[in-house]
Chains A and B, each alone.
Chain A
Amino acid sequence: MCPALLENEERCFGGMTFFAQSHPVEVCGSNGLPLTPNSITIYGKSQFLKTIYHPNLSTYLDIIRSKHERIVVVAEYNGDPLNSKKNVNTDDILKIAFQCLLGLQYMNKLGLVHRHLSPENILFNKSGNVQLYNFGLYFMTDCGKNVSFPIGYPKYTAPEVFLSSGVSSPKVDSWSLGMIIAELLLTKSIWSGVKLSQCLRKVLSLIHCETSVFERLAREINCYNIYKDLPDKVKEFVDCCLQIHPLKRKIPEELLKLSIFEKFLLQNEKEIEKNLYRNIIVRKMDELYYLWQLAGGDITVELKKQGLIRSRPPILSIPNLVILLGQMFGRRDTAGLFDLRVVKIPLDTLHQRLSHIPYIANYPWLTDQMRVQSQEELIDAASQLPLIIRERDTEYQFYRIVLYDRLLQVYPITREAIIEEAHKDIPPPVRGAVWAALLGITGDIQKYYDMIDKETPTHTDRQIEVDIPRCHQYSELLSSGAGHERLQRLLKAWVRNNPHYVYWQGLDSLTAPFLYLNFNNEDVFPLHKILHLWDKLLLGDSSFPLLVGLAILKQLRDSLLTSGFNECILLFSDLPEIDIELCVKDSMMMYQNTPPSITYRKHQFNQPKDVNWLEPEPGTEKMPRICVDDFLDLLDNSPDRLIAVDIRNNIQFERGAVVGSINIPFTSVQLSLTHIETLGPHAKPLVENKNSIVVIIGPHDQNNALFADFLIKCGVVGVCSLQGGISALRIKSPNIIVIPR
């Protein structure tokens, strides 16, 4: 019996919360629009953090913005904070230092500074590995500008941070690490029980220290004996960190080059190599977080339970007086303090929910042809349910995610399988990647994207600038500063890359969902609705959008028909509730029922069908036309869905016609009498017709169009005419033309 899923899961979620600084009353941005709330700015900036995966950094999982500028941050929480550890030997201390430096080095590479390094934010797990927690706080708050509280523990903060406002360099982290390691080495807390002001004074008094800061600290807390016995190399390392002058202090990258870490580097490399081939599948934390939420996990509730979100009744904090300029007086406000506590949330709920799934389910099999091996019955049963329910079923989503994960790993050879699966549904977490797969994106896209010049001004800039603040602004992501910036870059890239197209106003809306999903890869509906639509859209070919439009029109048909043109425009701008799933379903059905050539669009390239395309004669544009290939295809595969109506005269018909076709000579039809009964008994199939495609075969397009019009007026559906008439058929496939009895 293989172990259950998540049996030995040590990882937890860590939740913390803080308030963004609210803007002073009534300030406008330079463009005249109101300032974006800081919480949205933070939300936008922090999206980048979610893409950072490093063994020594706690992965950011979610950033939630809630009422009254509150931000909730969810991240992986693996292990216990360092300050709960006692009596660590020198070797382990060095290992901790080494892993911290690895994390810091990676952060610096990405342009991040921790600034908040402290024993609380260094997590130490059972296997002795270290993760830096909360590393993005300084970054997501735009170097602390968007919050009112100071970032950093006074004791561990480098002196220059206190001396000047402004952005901190990576070197402040070296100092903090030095302090932490010094404390560990001396096995005694520095300045414990000292008041805040004194602590600040002590940090700042260090700037006058001419000799080794480490030595001075050791003497100060009566640990000189321990200090004396430390190996020189260790002292050297701490001294490198605790340099008063930033000029002499080393950055994490340089610290790693100290000889003391040589053996760790070697060991680390070996381990990486070893792990590379160790075939264990560990589900990613963000997937688990997604599933945990589906299983009923709610971070806000957890935070409330721990008292981190204190709900003070609003009536107790309403102000006494608001003067005209918006300034408030007599406000009874006590909330808004920055509370550092982190709530550790184990995965229990999810574990229970998935406990009956064997560990082996993590690894779905693929066949030789890179197709999905048989799907479990469970999924088949679940897949009958509506999409909205499927998206909330923990177990179903688990299987789907695992499957897609597997498929995407070996993309592009699995493209076929992905398309097949995407027809069923796409679980939200992998949507971005699946869309990319559906669009057939391969190769070094990042490089290509980098090569596109997105900064040089062009003439469309203005329009883009105007459009962006108006695009999907209700979405927190897209209304944040970072969102605007990304969208602008994306649009500019598009303009650059497609010089033969003109930027049009809807493009921003078009790109928005793509950006929303691939926010960090930089890749007129409410967004959440449009996503499902796009799922299907990408599967179909170019004519599919036409049908989607049609499906929307179909839903609105009743109200549209009763109103005039102007009202219609208003109605669309007002966009009533449209049932998107129905819309998707409708358009899917129509797509399946309609021969491709009918919806063929002229201004489309790379189409295999354009070989047979003929310009329509004037006056016949309204009539849909089917090409010969599609006609033959229908005749072969589903003759019951086809009614061929031959409108040539009797003599021509007698000479040879399509099997099973009915002859209604055009000349015999009285176009003004729009009753199908006037056509006589052999028009009976037309009357009974429900779902079939009626193909008019006739030599003259003009006549065909008139007859099609007549049929439609009689209430016959699915009417189209055969391109090129009987002669085209004769050329293509002479054997289907027979002499009727």
Chain B
Amino acid sequence: MNMPEDEFVEKTFVYKFPTCTTNQEYVLEVPLKIPYGGNVKELMYRIMSSFKLPCYVESDLLQSLEHAIKTLTLEFYDEKAEKTLEDAISGNLDIEDIIKNWEKTYKQKTAEYADPIGTTDEELFAAAYHKLVHSPSLEPILQAEHKFGRDVTEVIQMRDSHYEQLTQKQTEEMRVAVESLEAGSTEKSINEMAGRHFEEQSLLQGHWGSRVDALKLDQRRQYRNWIMRLLEEQQTNMLPTPVGSPILSMPPIRPALDNFVHSEEKNTAEYPILEESFTIHLGSQMKQMHNIRILTGDVLDFCRIKKSDSGMDPTPQRLQTALGLYSNDLCGLVLLSDNHLGSYSGITKELCSICQLTTEFHFPPIDEQLEKIREDVKDAVAWRQAHHREVNDSQTKRSTGSKSLQTGDVYITRHSNLAQVHVIFHMVVNDSLRSGDINSRHPVILGLRNILKTACCNDVTTLTIPILLVHEMSEDMTVAWCTKRAELVFKCVKGFMIEMASWGGAELKNLQFLVPKGMSEEVFGTLATMLPSIFRVSNPLVFKATSTPQTPKK
């Protein structure tokens, strides 16, 4: 650590001792750093040996050395304190300023002087929920969540089918009008029709939008009240079975639902799901165990709540997610997205629509979260610009002045209504990832490190990473490209995990590498075999019956 210059002074220690034979005195001058940090006795012995002093001066030398160091140190401190005191008395120091600074630190950092912060509503609700899901109430809570969710999904499906109907009707109308352009309809009338269509569309959108929002708001209010009531009741009369569900009266939408077909039967089993798991040990001397899994699949499958067969019961994944929501074992997912932060295009849009299928009971809805992040981006851009003056990196220079997020930046959303994840790390990526040659200093790799670090510091202990840093397979991804990319990510992640041990947070327990669906079995096999060679698979200790020692006879 670099000491500021005034933290110590050089002083000279002078020691005199008489010679035995003559009246002369030996004089010794030793430079000393004040305050002296080392062991005085050792210094004394070193002086003795380097000046070849006779042993009879030992105790005398020690005494005077100790005394000298003590007085010099006190002098040093006194001088310093006197100087500032002088400054303060004469008014050279701004006392008010000093007072303000100290007040600030006391208020910010100590519980005694800080403004009392009670438990926030958020924390209160979190505690209540966490307690309830670890009690017999778990079942009804999940049921209620599921039912609420289904109601929203149904309304949304109704909305979608109405849209479809309207669009169909409008297209048809337009087609007829265009076909009869000569016969009767004019350009003007077609324009008018287009305008009318647009109005109809937005009307419908507004209608359904407000209906969904109202429903969600209502559900959220009901749900949260119910949870708090549930806790109260459980605490007061220790009911073994919880009170009934919060669902009181819902708009009668069920009959209308039968009218339309479930167009949402998305086939996820187009490709066989390939998967392999390993247990590894990391660390050179003290080993830490981790589970590693490599599997194929669509990244959003971790978010989508699959319909169970009957549709009446919540899926087992939901149970896991509910139990872990406020625990110290969170599940995270790395999602590669663009820097638009918007819900209008790309994978973020898809994610948003998945999130909006059901009500978010715990955190703000995803669009609100994204809105808040947009605010934070402004701060981040300002911060970045302020720090650019110091950093003169060619790579960062290029992007100076950019008002949006850059490749490798990560924004984070929190969810309670997804299938297997609580936290989504959205990493901003660009097209450079499609090319073959990225190295470990690519911003996305650094972003990955930041993700791991954030995960570590916030107790995200299960993390899913797209191994190829892309979500979809494409033509130009050759076998060589895949193995090269996978090797890079494996190695970097391993390095970060070793580094993680010093971050003082939670260790990653489960690491999942996600391979885009549609990858051939051979390539998957190559990647899977690469894993145990890069991450050393733990070496089980095998006991042979013969190697058991006989216990010594007594």
Contact = CB atoms under 8 A, between A and B. Distances in A.
B499 interface: yes
Q: Is chain A's interface secondary structure helix, strand, loop, or mixed overall?
A: loop
A589 B85 contact: no
A320 B375 CA distance: 10
A334 B117 CA distance: 9
A585 B373 contact: no
A204 B411 contact: no
A329 B376 contact: yes
Contacts of B549: 582, 585-586, 589
Given A247-B82, A318-B412, A327-B383, A196 B536 contact: no
Given A68-B504, A320-B372, A559-B542, A315 B110 contact: no
A150 B538 CA distance: 46
A317 interface: yes
Interface string B372-388: 11011101100110010
Given A558-B542, A589-B549, A166 B80 contact: yes
B42 A576 contact: no
Contact of A167 (B7, B330, B459): B7
A163 B41 CA distance: 34
Contacts of B443: 324
Nearest to A163: B84
B81 A164 contact: yes
B107 interface: yes
Given A166-B80, A586-B549, A150 B105 contact: yes
Given A251-B74, A450-B45, A592-B552, A526 B285 contact: yes
Interface centre among A162, A322, A455, A589 (most CB of B within 10 A): A322
Interface string B118-137: 00001100100010000000
Interface in A159-175: 159-160, 162-164, 166-171
Contact of B112 (A313, A340, A456, A526): A340
B283 A474 contact: yes
Interface string A220-258: 000000000000000000000000111100010000000
A138 to B, nearest CB: 14
A555 B81 contact: no
Nearest to B549: A586
B453 interface: yes
A457 to B, nearest CB: 13
Interface in A131-169: 148-150, 154, 159-160, 162-164, 166-169
Interface in B171-227: none
B74 A37 contact: no
B99 A315 contact: no
Contacts of A361: none
Interface string B472-508: 0000000000000000000000000001011111100
A259 B345 CA distance: 85
B99 A200 contact: yes
Contacts of B144: none
Contacts of A371: none
B38 A576 contact: no
A313 B45 contact: no
Contacts of A525: 285
A314 B328 contact: yes
A340 B113 CA distance: 11
Interface string B92-126: 01010011101101110111111001000011001
Contact of B49 (A201, A339, A453): A453
A39 interface: yes
Contact of B46 (A334, A456, A475): A456
A588 interface: yes
A462 interface: no
Contacts of A456: 46
A574 interface: yes
Given A67-B504, A162-B102, A163-B93, A320 B450 contact: no
A609 interface: no
Contact of A160 (B42, B85, B376): B85
Interface of A: 34, 36-37, 39, 65, 67-69, 148-150, 154, 159-160, 162-164, 166-171, 196-197, 200-201, 204, 207-208, 244-247, 251, 311-330, 334, 336-341, 447, 450-456, 472-475, 524-526, 554-555, 557-559, 571, 574-579, 582, 585-586, 588-589, 592
25 contacts: A36-B502, A37-B502, A67-B505, A148-B109, A163-B98, A164-B81, A164-B84, A168-B77, A169-B73, A170-B74, A171-B78, A204-B95, A316-B326, A318-B458, A318-B460, A319-B412, A320-B372, A321-B373, A321-B410, A325-B384, A325-B387, A326-B453, A337-B110, A456-B46, A557-B547
Interface of B: 4, 6-7, 35, 38-39, 41-42, 45-46, 49, 73-74, 77-78, 80-82, 84-85, 87-89, 93, 95, 98-100, 102-103, 105-107, 109-114, 117, 122-123, 126, 130, 283, 285-287, 325-328, 330, 369, 372-373, 375-377, 379-380, 383-384, 387, 405-412, 414, 422-423, 443, 446-447, 450-451, 453-454, 457-460, 499, 501-506, 536, 538-542, 544, 547, 549-552
